[in-house]
Amino acid sequence: MKLKREFTFRLSLFLFFIAFSINALAQSDPTGTSAPTSTYAITNATIIQAPGKVIESGTLVIKNGLILSIGTNVSIPEDAQEIDGTDLYIYPGFIDGMSYAGAKRPEAMQRPSNLFTPDPPNDYAGITPERSVIDQIDVTESSIESLRKIGFTVSHTVPYGRMLPGSGSIILLSDANHTDHLILRENVSMYTQFSGAPGAYPGNTLGIMAKWRNLFTNASYQRVYAQAYSKDPSGLSRPSQDRVIEAFYPVVAKEKTVFYNANSLLEAQRAIRLKNELNFNLTLGNLEEGWDLVDQIKESNTNVFMSLNLPDKPKNSTEEDKSDEVVDLEMKRMDAFNRHLNQFGDMKSQGITFGFSTMGATSSKIKANLLAIIEAGLSENDALSALTIDAAKLLGIESTTGTLDVGKIGNAIISTGPYFEKDSKIKMVFVDGDKYDFEVKENKSGEGVSATDEAILLGSWSYTSNTPQGVQNGKMIIEKNGDVLSGVITNPNGNSDSELNNLSFVNGSLSFDYAVELGGQSIEIVIEGDIMGTDFDGEASISQFNASWAITATKDAPEQKIKETR
């Protein structure tokens, strides 16, 4: 009898495998790009399972999207691709508390010709809380890859728009054929910001605050009535169907959190003011000025995601005969800069648990910013917590990600050294159990730039920039005077050339920024990318507008030198 049962079990197992392989065949991939296995074992690595929880010479097994096992005494499944983790460090994948990752900015709505400015249509006013970011997500958006490259595996992505753009969703930063495959938690938040409609109501903070109160209060009344109606509609007139008001119902019921894009001290205070008055669950995202807000954040029970965008370090004048007044002003400006850096450690020590958000930050600067924050007093453990488990808790997804615990989603980072060391590089990232390899260029001799590298860089380049306004072509010319790299870039439409700032070329990676005048404002464009041979492949971004696009360049052939031979 027992034997028979055993046999039945084996048979069913066998049938299961047949079914499985048929299924696998049905999904066969004619492009040949899909991974040969969905099981990975990284062995003999230093695993930071969670902040402060280190496993030396450990093994991490990820199978079918989940963490199967972790530890020093782990059996490796037969179908696993084994990765030698000697000298490598494994971390839980980072979590971005608020960004536009994966979302594609919709075309700006044209001003209607007969716009009645006191009461514009909702989509022009930017009051569309019934919408979802899911409709804006484009799986081919480059922001997914650029965040993943620096270790982020999950993002709370919010929609583009004005005052109330719609719901945010938590997505996995993986390559997918369809948006649905990215979604971890759908429509978790109501996203809002102090962004008025151009020349129409609400035009600025004044109108936005009032409109917020008005919408919320109406929703509070209408919700009660709608509930009564759904219980017993007999004799009641139908509740008015207003999708904007209805979108507020879960916020009124505290089932949905409001994510406020509150960048500055004053914006944060205004968001907290609304929360205290109306009573809803509030999370501040993208906060850059938090140091004076500790009490208000605590008293109001508000959650916070701190921005990973930091101001540029001020450059003091090198003139020798500067006045005492200038010296004072420079000192105060440097203090203000340090305030930005110190706040992270200070806020943590005063009992505020925060995560990070990347909105508005340039992705290539994020690691350097983290290191600066740590140098200024936030412990490495606290920084890692903010990037992983604390962010997961604030988003309510700690049961599925945020640490490398068995059963959680296979989101992990594999680094060539301790992540918070300057020279360590991310070699591999797992998102949802899928492996992404990154080419790690070895530093040739410390941090120096080898002569051959620079020879590639210096000279004239022809660039092609796929800006949102169309393709632009031009030249960039890079020179070296003494030890200093400098350059200019030409601008289209007869605009004057721009000088390149913060020009850096290390191990084939080129980055610089420059300013252009647009509509009377100075806009900073950051360019980053890699040089391979005589080709440059990079990304241009304007963090002010959360816009980025591809830019490529080819080194112009040097003028032929006629070799004199005789």
Partner 1 sequence: MKKLTQSILILFFIASWSTANAQTGDVLIKNATVITITDGTLENTDILVRDGKINRIGTKLNAPNGVDEIDGTGKFVMPGIIDAHSHIAGSSINEGTSQVTAEVSMEDVVNPLDVAIYRALAGGVTSIHLMHGSANVIGGRNETLKLRYGSTNPDDLRFEDAPRTIKFALGENPTRGGRSRGIQPQSRMGVEAMLRNSFSEALIYQKEWAAYNEKRGDRRTPPEYSLRMETLVDILEGEILVHCHSYRADEIYMLMKVFSDFGIEKLTFQHANEAYKVAPELAEFGASASIFSDWWAYKLEVYYSTAYNAAILTKNGVNTSINSDSGELIRHLFHEAAKSQKYGQLSDNEALAMITMNPAKQLGIDNRVGSIEVGKDADLAIFDNHPLSIYAVPLMTFIDGIKYFDKETDVKDQRIYINPESSIEEVKILTAEDHDRCMQDADYVDFFTLFNN
* Residues from 187 through 226 that contact partner 1 (CB under 8 A): 195-207, 209-211, 213-214, 217-218, 221-222, 224-225
Asked if 94 and 151 touch (Cβ cutoff 8 Å), the reply is: yes
End-to-end CA separation in angstroms for the chain? 99
- Rounded Cα distance between 202 and 109, Å, is 16
- Residues 13-52, one symbol each (x = binds partner 1 by CB under 8 A, - = not), give ----------------------------------------
Among the listed residues 72, 227, 443, 534, the single contact to partner 1 using CB under 8 A: 227
Asked if 71 and 58 touch (Cβ cutoff 8 Å), the reply is: yes
How many of the chain's residues bind partner 1 (CB under 8 A)? Answer: 72
How many CA atoms lie less than 13 Å away from 120 in the CB half-sphere?
Answer: 25
Q: Is 317 in the site for partner 1 (CB under 8 A)?
A: yes
- Rounded Cα distance between 393 and 339, Å, is 27
Q: Is 332 in the site for partner 1 (CB under 8 A)?
A: yes
The DSSP secondary-structure symbol of 190 reads: E
Q: Which two tokens stand for residue 318?
A: 């090198």
Q: Is 313 in the site for partner 1 (CB under 8 A)?
A: yes
Q: Which of residues 109-148 bind partner 1 (CB under 8 A)?
A: 109, 116-119, 126
- Residues 59-98, one symbol each (x = binds partner 1 by CB under 8 A, - = not), give ----------------------------------------
Q: What is the largest CA-CA distance in the chain?
A: 108
Closest residue by Cα to residue 200 from 259, 121, 128: 121
Shortest reach from residue 384's CB to partner 1, in Å = 26
Categorise residue 286: left if φ over 0, alpha if ψ from -120 to 50, beta otherwise: left
Nearest 5°: CA angle at 345, between 340 and 351?
120
Among the listed residues 470, 520, 533, 558, the single contact to partner 1 using CB under 8 A: 520
Among the listed residues 10, 181, 243, 273, the single contact to partner 1 using CB under 8 A: 273
Q: What is the per-residue burial (b if ≥16 Cβ within 10 Å, else e) of 248-275?
A: bbbbbeeebbbbbbbbebebbebbbebb
Shortest reach from residue 111's CB to partner 1, in Å = 9
Q: Cβ closer to partner 1: 208 or 429?
A: 208
How far is residue 326 CA from its own chain's centroid?
38
The DSSP secondary-structure symbol of 288 reads: S
* Exposed / middle / buried, residue 36 (Cβ in 10 Å: 0-12, 13-18, 19+): exposed
Nearest 5°: CA angle at 380, between 377 and 381?
120
Among the listed residues 74, 188, 253, 334, the single contact to partner 1 using CB under 8 A: 334
Shortest reach from residue 507's CB to partner 1, in Å = 28
Shortest reach from residue 251's CB to partner 1, in Å = 16
Q: Is 181 in the site for partner 1 (CB under 8 A)?
A: no
- Rounded Cα distance between 272 and 265, Å, is 11
Q: Which of residues 160-179 bind partner 1 (CB under 8 A)?
A: 160-162
How far is residue 309 CA from its own chain's centroid?
11
Shortest reach from residue 218's CB to partner 1, in Å = 5
Shortest reach from residue 183's CB to partner 1, in Å = 25
Q: Is 294 in the site for partner 1 (CB under 8 A)?
A: no
| The one segment of 70-78, 80-88, 513-521, 558-566 that binds partner 1 by CB under 8 A | 513-521
Gyration radius of the chain over CA positions: 27
Q: Cβ closer to partner 1: 62 or 197?
A: 197
Q: Which two tokens stand for residue 102?
A: 């994966």
Shortest reach from residue 341's CB to partner 1, in Å = 10
| SS3 per residue for 7-36 | HHHHHHHHHHHHHHHHHHHHCCCCCCCCCC
Among the listed residues 325, 442, 483, 559, the single contact to partner 1 using CB under 8 A: 325
Among the listed residues 275, 340, 365, 367, the single contact to partner 1 using CB under 8 A: 340
Q: Is 337 in the site for partner 1 (CB under 8 A)?
A: yes
Q: Cβ closer to partner 1: 115 or 188?
A: 115
Q: Is 502 in the site for partner 1 (CB under 8 A)?
A: no
- Rounded Cα distance between 263 and 145, Å, is 25
Shortest reach from residue 383's CB to partner 1, in Å = 21
Q: Cβ closer to partner 1: 333 or 480?
A: 333
Among the listed residues 112, 121, 311, 407, the single contact to partner 1 using CB under 8 A: 311
